[in-house]
């Protein structure tokens, strides 16, 4: 019997599809489930080249998740300046950065114990 995809797996796949639809770059998934006292199970981190592209990524994720899964983020922060937008889907938190802000905060290294999956993009 085929294994049914979990809600988290479906949400991750839908978020990744939303990022790829508008050519978000350098996508990483951090699996935080084996780390104690984390605020969520996964971080999805990506970047855009401008505040326009960061907003396009955020909008694409929202539309795709809403349409396909009938879900919406619990909270969104950072849309005003679009340098670092955080989308909180409770168990999955999406970080959409501009490159220079991502390099400055380097949150991947802060969560160095997390299992990291680099997502290969098709473009």
pLDDT tens column, 4-38: 568 899 999 999 999 999 999 999 999 999 999 99
Predicted pLDDT at 5 = 64
Query: Domains in the chain and their CATH numbers?
Result: 7-118 (3.30.460.10)
How many Å apart are CA 58 and CA 60, to the nearest integer? 5
Contacts 24+ apart (CB under 8 A), 34-39: 34/113, 34/115, 35/111, 35/113, 35/114, 39/93
Is the pLDDT score of 2 beyond 90? Answer: no
How many Å apart are CA 71 and CA 90, to the nearest integer? 11
* H-helix segments, the chain: 7-21, 51-69, 99-105, 107-110
Give pTM, 2 decimals. 0.93
Interval 64-81: pLDDT, tens: 999 999 999 999 999 999
């Amino acid at each position: 019997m085929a294994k049914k995809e979990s809600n988290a797996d479906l949400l991750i796949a839908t978020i990744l599809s939303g990022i790829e639809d508008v050519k978000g770059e350098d996508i990483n998934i951090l699996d935080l489930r084996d780390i104690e006292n984390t605020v969520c199970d996964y971080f999805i981190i990506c970047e855009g080249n401008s505040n326009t592209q960061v907003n396009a990524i955020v909008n694409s994720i929202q539309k795709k998740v809403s349409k396909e899964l009938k879900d919406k983020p619990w909270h969104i922060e950072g849309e005003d300046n679009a340098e670092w937008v955080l989308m909180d889907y409770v168990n999955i938190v999406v970080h959409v950065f501009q490159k220079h802000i991502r390099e400055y905060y380097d949150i991947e290294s802060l969560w160095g114990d997390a299992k990291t999956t680099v997502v290969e993009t098709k473009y």
